A and B are shown apart, each in its own frame.
Chain A
């Protein structure tokens, strides 16, 4: 099963090394990991999607990560009422003949066209992973040149912040 963890860490050099080293050393399976600034300048938030066989396995991931000195807090968002999103940039082949159809698809998915040239278009799409997967599936027919995805970011809908949980 996949679990979504919000990992609050000190915004210090070497933090990501410590985290990635621990993940590989303990043979944890991480599907995605995304990091960025937060509401506090000295804190970074990492959203991690972890594949774990059961609760015990997940607990090991959480416990081992918690041992890292620079990890301030870990919140399991899996069971919680939450919003999660991913952003994708997709470069798709777009001949003049296909353009109209692609624009249609983009509108249906509420995506944006952020760049166009003679041969390709770049589409920006935000949503849950399944939505991005679905659009990629449709765009395949036109020829996808390149995909970049950010990995999941997630936030709880509770009225308090993760660090207060």
Chain B
């Protein structure tokens, strides 16, 4: 039986077990929307296409499934770009579907035409333009496969409007045939054996974990390795939660705003074992002085990551599911007490650093400190909530002071650093995990960048709790201006007449302003217990810095300390 291209896409969704799509209709996708309507397919309507793509991203990060978003041609498609780039930098599996003008109109600067495959080529894992309906089932099969396998990433499918209306005898392919794409699952066992040999020789071994642990869902096996060997662990922003915050072997985040113990350990280690990390410059700082005394071992699924930023003595290429399982088999054969004998003195050293210079801040009798807000939320949620952030100071305070216990609970734009990510991504997370507590921690800058999505939250009555850590400025920009630009606050001041509480209420989200320090704990506790969505605007001191801080261009052990 022949069905339309639009109906075929619904069939593709069903075949790929897509539960929900995030999208915004428009001229070129009208036929597709008619089919969604006809099939009563679950669809979330944000108020901006950027909201749709970030929501699909948040959904993917929280659930591990492929996020799907839809936008129309031209401006609809270009509004996806920031979100696609965000997903690309953090290796998030997305399928973005855009409408395109009809085949005869392509290339003629037609109304709402944009060359979205050309535009997104550098920020997608792959992209397609479908001009012939016969290509449609194969392209969808390939797109979902590419997005979700190997190193995940966003795939864009641009579809000419006439393809939605054309008809096809629909048959979904059972497998893909891509000569140029063979993701590496199982790699070379020998490489892991070399790592094991190096590990036996090491006096100061250190695991450095990243977003790859989240993406590969290998937190459980990692915890087994760490608990058997006692080897200390440091993390990138994207790896937080993979090891519980309070695990005695966890020494927190490293890098520009990393912990003293973590950064010192990275400087002193003689064997740094990177697991699903990409040695971003926010972590390495001055790359030539990164882990200067260490042999570096790098486990990654993407061969291009090995030796990209730092030289690795051993690269273990393959899925962490495979490599960590093999590695665990090797380490568990050696009794725990032997490991303990080997690594205990080194871990004690880290502990002494941690105790000497813990994360700290100056408390104030009247003012609410941002770190206290995060700690309070962390306490009341016992580190179990799904935390979605924007980008800037509040993001770093969240990374430092929220006691993450579980993987996939910190949803944040690490690679691209996208302000405006938080609220729409929280929507996606809450849609994907309706029974979990989802909290959006935002700043007064980032929140405004996609504040239109409050409407989506209100209309769907999503129980997201939004906390605006409000310092009336672009905090991170102002911090740099304070430290490196002589305190000249060029356009970083956001002192405004606007009232977030009234704004939220006007849109239909209950809200309050929190100014009194004594009220803070119980108000936060009350808010977290509420059924529906709620927004809290919290004023914090304007000039609070995120510390420790490694100035850019300095090695990791040169930290400006706080407290």
Contact = CB atoms under 8 A, between A and B. Distances in A.
B554 to A, nearest CB: 25
B296 to A, nearest CB: 13
A21 B304 contact: no
Contact of B303 (A21, A66, A68): A66
B178 A69 contact: yes
Contact of A18 (B121, B129, B181): B121
Interface string B173-184: 000001111000
B302 interface: yes
A72 B303 contact: no
Interface string B217-231: 000000000000000
Contacts, number: 43
A34 interface: no
Contact of B304 (A14, A25, A66, A70): A66
A110 to B, nearest CB: 39
A60 B181 contact: no
B307 A17 contact: no
B121 A67 contact: no
A56 B311 CA distance: 9
B146 interface: yes
A94 to B, nearest CB: 42
B180 A17 contact: no
A22 B124 CA distance: 11
Interface string B352-366: 000000000000000
Interface residues of B, number: 20
B126 A69 contact: yes
B122 interface: yes
B59 to A, nearest CB: 24
A69 B122 contact: no
A21 B121 contact: yes
Nearest to B302: A67
Contact of A22 (B122, B146, B181, B303): B122
A38 interface: no
A117 to B, nearest CB: 38
B129 A60 contact: no
Interface string A28-64: 0000000000000000000000000000100110011
Most buried by A among B118, B122, B126, B179: B179
A21 B485 CA distance: 36
Interface residues of A, number: 22
A132 interface: no
B311 A69 contact: no
A60 B307 contact: yes
B118 A69 contact: no
B311 A72 contact: no
A17 B118 contact: yes
A14 B179 contact: no
A71 interface: yes
B269 to A, nearest CB: 22
B381 interface: no
B152 to A, nearest CB: 13
Contacts of A9: 180
Q: Is the interface of A mostly helix, strand, loop or mixed?
A: helix
B174 to A, nearest CB: 19
Given A67-B302, A70-B180, A71-B180, A14 B307 contact: no
A67 B306 CA distance: 13
Contact of B181 (A13, A14, A59, A69): A69
Contact of A69 (B117, B146, B307): B146
A14 B146 contact: no
A60 B304 contact: yes
Contacts of B293: none
B408 interface: no
A107 to B, nearest CB: 46
A76 interface: no
A10 interface: yes
Given A67-B302, A69-B146, A71-B180, 17 more contacts: A10-B180, A14-B117, A17-B121, A25-B122, A56-B307, A59-B307, A60-B304, A60-B307, A60-B308, A63-B306, A66-B303, A67-B304, A68-B180, A69-B178, A69-B180, A69-B181, A73-B180
Q: Lowest 9 A-B CB distances belong to which pairs?
A: A63-B304, A69-B126, A21-B121, A72-B180, A25-B122, A72-B179, A69-B181, A71-B180, A63-B303
29 contacts: A9-B180, A10-B179, A10-B180, A14-B117, A14-B127, A17-B118, A18-B121, A21-B121, A21-B122, A22-B122, A56-B307, A56-B311, A60-B307, A60-B308, A63-B303, A63-B304, A63-B306, A66-B303, A66-B304, A67-B302, A68-B126, A69-B146, A69-B178, A69-B180, A69-B181, A70-B180, A72-B179, A72-B180, A73-B180
